[in-house]
């Protein structure tokens, strides 16, 4: 039976999630940021006798699901996600493989990366924090690196990124070469104990110079100095190779379904 969690269940939810954050990153981060009070968030659990078989946090149209030990009712969860209008479901790959049998859509599989060690010597030459006027160039760089659909509107992307930056939801690091933003990395989400890094891109004209590693290590060093762990998500061979070069070793096989 799947039931909706209430504010009084917060400690039980956190206990179920545990501290293996690689398997519940956005569930944990969204719960910490929005709690149970936000109308955009709902938290659900499947109860099987005295056992919790699975939990999910649904934020707008995205579901983040966790199952410690499996044995959940994938059909019931698929029904709930359809009723709630979920467009994207994310979880460990083993969970997504079960949901994919019951949800129509495209499933992708990749990895959660975790940075285990921060280099003692970090070369910060040329690295700086992004400023408000940088986001058009950052959006263009990400667009050119296929982070967005080819028809995506760059000014709109820039405004969205700038708004998140201005509200303190993300921090962006760049390297500028000859007046051009040549490399970029950012935090996609931050919490009290961890961050998710992403948006790593380097201009084709400046690749193979170590800029991507340099800008990432500057970000990583600052995050680690705050006592936080660093994670990432990656899909596909090129993204996997890039993350491994940065030291983001796989800690969990991950999956997502783009629901129809």
pLDDT single digits (tens) 181-199 = 999 999 999 999 999 999 9
Cα–Cα distance measured from residue 34 to residue 66, given in angstroms and rounded to the nearest whole number: 18
Q: pLDDT tens digits, residue range 86-115?
A: 999 999 999 999 999 999 999 999 999 999
Mean per-residue pLDDT, 16-37: 94
Cα–Cα distance measured from residue 60 to residue 167, given in angstroms and rounded to the nearest whole number: 20
Domain ranges for the chain = 2-103, 115-252
Mean per-residue pLDDT, 16-41: 94
Counting residues of the chain whose pLDDT is more than 90, the rounded percentage is 85
Counting residues of the chain whose pLDDT is more than 70, the rounded percentage is 97
- Tokens at 199, concatenated: 């948006």
- Given a cut of 90, whether residue 146 has pLDDT beyond it is no
Mean per-residue pLDDT, 129-142: 95
pTM for the whole structure:
0.91
- Given a cut of 60, whether residue 149 has pLDDT beyond it is no
Nearest Cα neighbor of 99 from 78, 85, 79, 81 is: 78
Q: What is the pLDDT, as a whole number, of residue 55?
A: 98
Least confident of 61-70, 138-147, 236-245: 138-147
Mean per-residue pLDDT, 56-69: 96
Q: What is the pLDDT, as a whole number, of residue 145?
A: 75
Cα–Cα distance measured from residue 89 to residue 72, given in angstroms and rounded to the nearest whole number: 15
Query: How long a stretch of residues is the chain?
Result: 260
Residue 150's pLDDT band (cuts 50, 70, 90): low
- pLDDT mean across residues, the chain: 93
Report domain 115-252's class: alpha beta
The 8-class DSSP code of residue 247 comes to T
The secondary structure of 219-243, three-state, reads HHHHHHHCCCEEEEEECCHHHHHHH
Q: What is the pLDDT, as a whole number, of residue 121?
A: 80
Q: pLDDT tens digits, residue range 152-188?
A: 688 988 999 999 999 888 999 999 999 899 999 999 9
Q: pLDDT tens digits, residue range 205-223?
A: 999 999 999 999 999 999 9
């Amino acid at each position: 039976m799947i039931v909706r969690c209430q504010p009084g269940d917060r400690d039980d939810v956190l206990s179920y999630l545990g501290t293996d954050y690689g398997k519940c990153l956005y569930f944990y981060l969204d719960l910490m940021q929005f709690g149970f009070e936000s109308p955009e968030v709902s938290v659900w659990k499947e109860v099987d006798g005295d056992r919790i078989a699975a939990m999910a946090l649904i934020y707008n149209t995205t579901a983040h699901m966790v199952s410690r030990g499996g044995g959940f009712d994938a059909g019931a969860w698929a029904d709930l996600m359809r009723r709630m209008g979920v467009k994207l479901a994310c979880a460990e790959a083993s969970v997504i493989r079960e949901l994919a049998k019951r949800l129509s859509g495209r499933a992708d599989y990749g990895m959660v990366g975790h940075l285990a060690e921060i280099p003692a010597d970090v070369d910060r030459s040329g690295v700086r924090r992004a400023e408000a006027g940088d986001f058009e160039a950052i959006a263009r760089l990400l667009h050119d690196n296929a982070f967005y659909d080819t028809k995506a509107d760059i000014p709109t992307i820039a405004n969205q990124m700038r708004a998140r930056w201005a509200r303190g939801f993300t921090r962006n690091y760049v390297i500028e070469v000859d007046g051009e933003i040549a490399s970029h990395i950012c935090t996609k989400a931050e919490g009290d104990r961890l961050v998710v890094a992403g948006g790593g891109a380097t201009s084709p004209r400046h690749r193979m110079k170590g800029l991507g590693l340099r800008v990432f290590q500057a970000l990583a060093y600052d995050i680690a100095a705050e006592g936080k762990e660093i994670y990432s998500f990656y899909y596909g061979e090129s993204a996997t190779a890039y993350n491994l070069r940065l030291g983001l070793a796989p800690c969990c096989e991950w999956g997502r379904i783009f629901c129809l």
